[in-house]
Amino acid sequence: MDYELTAGQKKLQQDIAAFCVEEIVPWAKKLDESPRKEGCNLVKKNLKKLAQAGFLAAGLEGDKIDLVEHYIAGEEIAKACASTYISARASTFMCGGILKLFGTLEQKKRFLPALVKAEMIGAIAYTEAEAGADLASISTTASKKGDIWVLNGVKDLVANSPIADVFIVLAYTEEEAGTKGGMSLFVVEKNAKGLSIGEPIETMGLRGVPIAAVKLENCEAKEIVGGEPGKGYEQMERILKMGTVGIVSFCVGVGTSCMEKATQHAKAKKSFGKPIGLYQGVGFKLADMFTYNDLSRMLGLRAAWAMNEGENDADILGSCAKLFAGESATKIANLAMQVFAGHGYIKGTDIERLYRDAKFGEICEGSSEIQRTIIAKNELDKFV
Amino acid sequence: MDFTLTDEQKMFRDTVYRYGKEEIAPLCEESDLKGEFSFEIWKKLADMGLLGLPLPEELGGSGADVVTCCLAGEALGHAGVDGGSLLAWGAHTYLCASNIFSFGTEEQKKEYIPRLASGEWIGCMGLTEPGSGSDAASMRTTAVKKGDKYILNGSKTFITNAPVADVIVVFATVDRAKKHKGITAFIVKKGTPGFSTGQPFHKMGCKCSTTSEVFFEDCEVPEENLLGGEGDGWMIALSGVEWDRSTLISPFVGASIYGLDLCAKYANDRYQFNRPIREFQGVQRRIADMKVFIEAARLAVYRVATSKDNGQMLNPLQAAVSKVYAGDVGFEMSSEAVQIFGGYGFMHEYPVERNFRDAKLASIGGGTSDIMRMIVSRIMLMQ
């Protein structure tokens, strides 16, 4: 057994961290506060900078997706700016990852290099107002007309949609077949006829991630991911299972940022003549933040490694990691807020932003409730 | 990064698990109810070579690395062997025998290790005193050099295995003014005049281990029984931390796996409102949380073990994370297991009840959870 990162992985970690301190951290507050349009431009700039430094490609360069590398990069970017990471991830990992895993050679060539260079921004549209975890209940349909597909439906909460050049869209191609062969993922470019993006949605946290509904009205799509219809559900499931790793990296990035800021505050701020960190009421909170963040990171890397190696229980480890890290991130942000007390409750402070950002981990891509259902079933079925 | 166990390690875990389940676990309930140390269980542990697990083969041990030791603890806990028996094993093997092996002279090793490894002798370690727990440096037991002997005076408490022990590694101060720099370790044999043990305590859990006070009244210890040099005791005591945070925690993690297995079975079999209770999300939540706990705790425990195997210095942050998480959340999970069993879980006949009582020790023994948080927060504030 060996828990250590390789020299190359450590270097990647350090390089991204150093880059982000200079190029991303200074923009985090501005990105959070900017009106939507301005925010769109800012986040695009951040993606561009990361791409130019080569960091958007982390984990995506080899024949297979390297989730350990993906994790390492994710944690550092999220620590610098959570919104920038989630936007980058939606583009390169969710949209790009789907294409890398399942796209035709031609699709890969056309989109992947452009996505990791941020010449194109990607988005993935699967959630609907009535279909979150229960993907089978989507109502978006696609019907074949000659050699094109005509899509109809409304996708909700699509990250990056206001700035995206290419969308991956989940739709029923054969509704009666249900999730078993009835769904397909389409590649839809932004200028496609019948595609329209709604007004950007105001979110509580991650305000730098442009997000809106996507409307498909007789929208014309030419291609299916991988070329063949009927595989959309499995493909979507796969990317979501692998996606737990990136969400953990997001949680740990936010958690680390909270922890570091709270520790600095606890050292600097004095009460009754001594730094508040020396009071156990505060010091023990710091210890809990460290403990949960450290365990989240270990679980995330463990799951990433297991998926890379193709271990049997890799997906369950991913669920465990996502559940743990999601709940830990909100716990840690809450503890950090308590350490800052009134000084963190002020709009425009880092802690106030991180507190709002942190909540995403518990909600997104398989809420904590869904993860528990998956994990419990897996354990219970061992004894049926 | 590599999280795979070697085939040898996997096979060993499986063997120990099966052995524990078939040979040892059936003996535990009776012993727990009586609240007595079981020589029968001790014999079983000895027969499997577990009592000298990390000790070298030439001295009668099994030469296992730390990860393998953790696997054994986990496997036995998973098999349903109670926390007390595993605590007795741990105190003997890791706190007594390993310390003698690591810091003893050749003569000391030759005299003690083979007999401890075989289980012929039972070992224990005495650090805690009635007035000094976490603040061990303030101990009052003294050792005064007189000719070629040390005269020990004082008392120790909460000493696992003391009532049955043949050998104790005990810490005393040669100069209280020197605080931790005066602390010195000695090996004391049963029967040494002036050495005695108290009545076994009645404990809440881990009842198959027996625990008592230890008294030294002008107890004369020959100088060749000094373990390490004068003033080395503090370093020796601290070196035990690595065992405390890995091998001694692994049985508790194993017990959680046992608890999860029991709960998963029960939730499938128990029907209420015409359906198995596994269908209720309240039950599912507990099952899922147990699984997540087990994965996280295992990672933390094996990280400490792995770094020791790889010859790295103990990282006090990582060690504390292992202890505080496995201790605090492990106890919570043992409570959730009782909850799944409802009224049945409150009965002695159901092992989740015993697990619950045993689990509490993990957040107390070998450095309380509060001490772990103190360590972590101090390091954070220094950085």
| One domain for residues A174 and A71 | no
| One domain for residues B208 and B265 | no
| One domain for residues A195 and A257 | no
Q: Establish whether A311 is a catalytic residue.
A: no
Provide the token pair at B12.
Answer: 């060993």
Cβ-based neighbour number of residue A202 at 10 Å: 8
Q: Which of B204, B236, B268 is the last residue of a domain?
A: B236
| One domain for residues A278 and A217 | no
CB B154 within 8 A of CB B198: no
CB atoms A2 and B265 under 8 Å: no
Query: Does residue A1 fall inside a structural domain?
Result: no
Q: What ipTM was estimated for this complex?
A: 0.96
Query: Does residue A302 fall inside a structural domain?
Result: yes
CB B97 within 8 A of CB B55: yes
Query: Does residue B55 fall inside a structural domain?
Result: yes
* pLDDT for residue B90: 96
Let me know if A140 is exposed, middle or buried by CB neighbors in 10 A (0-12, 13-18, 19+). Answer: buried
CB atoms B288 and A371 under 8 Å: yes
Query: Does residue A54 fall inside a structural domain?
Result: yes
Is any Cβ of chain B less than 8 angstroms from the Cβ of A1?
Answer: yes
| One domain for residues A239 and A378 | yes
* pLDDT for residue A36: 81
Is any Cβ of chain B less than 8 angstroms from the Cβ of A264?
Answer: no
CB atoms A320 and B380 under 8 Å: no
Query: Does residue A218 fall inside a structural domain?
Result: yes
Per-residue pLDDT of chain A (384 residues; tens, 9 = 90+): 899 999 999 999 999 999 999 999 999 999 999 988 899 999 999 999 999 999 999 999 999 999 999 999 999 999 999 999 999 999 999 999 999 999 999 999 999 999 999 999 999 999 999 988 899 999 999 999 999 999 999 999 999 999 999 999 999 999 999 999 999 999 999 999 999 999 999 999 999 999 999 999 999 999 999 999 999 999 999 999 999 999 999 999 999 999 999 999 999 999 999 999 999 999 999 999 999 999 999 999 999 999 999 999 999 999 999 999 999 999 999 999 999 999 999 999 999 999 999 999 999 999 999 999 999 999 999 999
Mutate to test the interface with B, among A2, A3, A264, A377 (most CBs of B within 10 A): A3
Query: Does residue B376 fall inside a structural domain?
Result: yes
| One domain for residues B252 and B377 | yes
Query: Does residue A2 fall inside a structural domain?
Result: no
Q: Which chain A positions have a beta carbon within 8 Å of B380's beta carbon?
A: 259, 263, 277, 286-287, 290
Provide the token pair at B357.
Answer: 């009582």
Is any Cβ of chain B less than 8 angstroms from the Cβ of A244?
Answer: no
Let me know if A144 is exposed, middle or buried by CB neighbors in 10 A (0-12, 13-18, 19+). Answer: exposed
Distance between CA atoms of residues A2 and B171, nearest Å: 35
Closest alpha carbon to B304 in B365, B241, B371, B246: B246
Query: Does residue B59 fall inside a structural domain?
Result: yes
Closest alpha carbon to A257 in A58, A39, A20, A67: A20
CB atoms A299 and B317 under 8 Å: no
Let me know if A229 is exposed, middle or buried by CB neighbors in 10 A (0-12, 13-18, 19+). Answer: buried
| One domain for residues B346 and B366 | yes
CB atoms B296 and A299 under 8 Å: yes
| One domain for residues A251 and A310 | yes
Residue B159 sits in a domain whose CATH number is 2.40.110.10
Distance between CA atoms of residues A296 and A321, nearest Å: 6
Catalytic residue among A23, A69, A223, A365: A365
CB atoms B377 and A305 under 8 Å: no
Query: Does residue B162 fall inside a structural domain?
Result: yes
Residue A144 sits in a domain whose CATH number is 2.40.110.10
Mutate to test the interface with A, among B8, B258, B375, B380 (most CBs of A within 10 A): B380
Is any Cβ of chain A less than 8 angstroms from the Cβ of B382?
Answer: no
Residue B251 sits in a domain whose CATH number is 1.20.140.10
| One domain for residues A301 and A379 | yes
Closest alpha carbon to A370 in A131, A168, A65: A131
Q: Which of B181, B201, B236 is the last residue of a domain?
A: B236
Side-chain-side CA neighbours of residue B337 (13 Å): 30
Q: Which of A231, A249, A267 is the last residue of a domain?
A: A231
* pLDDT for residue A133: 86
| One domain for residues A117 and A215 | no
CB atoms A280 and B324 under 8 Å: no
| One domain for residues A247 and A366 | yes
Helix (H, G, I), strand (E, B) or coil at B198: coil
| One domain for residues B154 and B113 | no
Strands (DSSP E) along B51-132, which ranges? 123-126
* pLDDT for residue A253: 98
| One domain for residues B219 and B325 | no
Query: Does residue A159 fall inside a structural domain?
Result: yes
Q: What is the chain B residue with the closest CA to A383?
A: B265
Closest alpha carbon to A225 in A327, A137, A309, A106: A106
Provide the token pair at A78.
Answer: 């999220």
Distance between CA atoms of residues A340 and A351, nearest Å: 8
Strands (DSSP E) along chain B, which ranges? 123-126, 142-146, 149-160, 167-173, 183-189, 195-197, 211-222, 226-227, 271-272, 275-276
| One domain for residues B185 and B112 | no
Is any Cβ of chain B less than 8 angstroms from the Cβ of A260?
Answer: no
Chain B nearest CA to A225, separation (Å): 33
Chain B nearest CA to A266, separation (Å): 8
Is any Cβ of chain B less than 8 angstroms from the Cβ of A279?
Answer: no
CB atoms A379 and B287 under 8 Å: yes
Q: Which chain B positions have a beta carbon within 8 Å of A278's beta carbon?
A: 381
Mutate to test the interface with A, among B377, B382, B383 (most CBs of A within 10 A): B377
Chain B nearest CA to A317, separation (Å): 8
CB atoms B321 and A382 under 8 Å: no
Domain of residue A283: give its range.
234-383
CB atoms A378 and B377 under 8 Å: no
Query: Does residue B354 fall inside a structural domain?
Result: yes
| One domain for residues A241 and A323 | yes
| One domain for residues B291 and B363 | yes
| One domain for residues A198 and A307 | no
CB atoms B299 and A5 under 8 Å: no
Is any Cβ of chain A less than 8 angstroms from the Cβ of B310?
Answer: yes
| One domain for residues B372 and B300 | yes
| One domain for residues A107 and A143 | no
Our count of domains for chain A comes to: 3
Q: Which of A99, A121, A143 is the last residue of a domain?
A: A121
Query: Does residue B42 fall inside a structural domain?
Result: yes
Residue A66 sits in a domain whose CATH number is 1.10.540.10
List, as one string, the DSSP characters of B299-346. Answer: HHHHHHHHHHHTTPPP-HHHHHHHHHHHHHHHHHHHHHHHHHHHHHHT
CB atoms A280 and B1 under 8 Å: no
Give me the residues of A, 199-238, that contact B with CB < 8 A: none
Query: Does residue A341 fall inside a structural domain?
Result: yes
Domain of residue B287: give its range.
245-382
Chain B nearest CA to A332, separation (Å): 14
Chain A nearest CA to B66, separation (Å): 11
Q: Which of A86, A104, A121 is the last residue of a domain?
A: A121
| One domain for residues B82 and B154 | no
CB atoms B381 and A5 under 8 Å: no
Chain B nearest CA to A2, separation (Å): 5
Query: Does residue B1 fall inside a structural domain?
Result: no
Per-residue pLDDT of chain B (383 residues; tens, 9 = 90+): 999 999 999 999 999 999 999 999 999 999 999 999 999 999 999 999 999 999 999 999 999 999 999 999 999 999 999 999 999 999 999 999 999 999 999 999 999 999 999 999 999 999 999 999 888 889 999 999 999 999 999 999 999 999 999 999 999 999 999 999 999 999 999 999 999 999 999 999 999 999 999 999 999 999 999 999 999 999 999 888 778 788 999 999 999 999 999 999 999 999 999 999 999 999 999 999 999 999 999 999 999 999 999 999 889 999 999 999 999 999 999 999 999 999 999 999 999 999 999 999 999 998 999 999 999 999 999 98
Query: Does residue B2 fall inside a structural domain?
Result: no
| pTM for this prediction | 0.97
Distance between CA atoms of residues B141 and B143, nearest Å: 7
| One domain for residues A241 and A379 | yes
Write the residue in A263, A302, A379 that is nearest to B380 by C-beta.
A263
| One domain for residues B97 and B132 | no
Chain B nearest CA to A185, separation (Å): 31
Our count of domains for chain B comes to: 3
Mutate to test the interface with B, among A278, A379, A382 (most CBs of B within 10 A): A379
CB atoms A1 and B377 under 8 Å: no
Q: Which of B214, B236, B258 is the last residue of a domain?
A: B236
Q: Which three-class secondary structure string do you get for chain A? A: CECCCCHHHHHHHHHHHHHHHHHCHHHHHHHHHCCHHHHHHHHHHHHHHHHHCCHHHCCCCCCCCCHHHHHHHHHHHHHHCHHHHHHHHHHHHHHHHHHHHHCCHHHHHHHHHHHHCCCCCEEEECCECCECCCHHHCCCEEEEECCEEEEEEEEEEEECHHHCCEEEEEEECCHHHCCCCCEEEEEEECCCCCEEECCCCCCCCCCCCCEEEEEEEEEEECEECCCCCCCHHHHHHHHHHHHHHHHHHHHHHHHHHHHHHHHHHHHHCEECCEEHHHCHHHHHHHHHHHHHHHHHHHHHHHHHHHHHHCCCCHHHHHHHHHHHHHHHHHHHHHHHHHHHHHHHCCCCCHHHHHHHHHCHHHHCCCCHHHHHHHHHHHHHHHHC
Chain A, chain B: beta-carbon pairs less than 8 Å apart: 146
Residue A375 sits in a domain whose CATH number is 1.20.140.10
| One domain for residues B356 and B302 | yes
Is any Cβ of chain A less than 8 angstroms from the Cβ of B376?
Answer: yes
Chain A nearest CA to B302, separation (Å): 8
CB A50 within 8 A of CB A118: yes
| One domain for residues B130 and B222 | yes
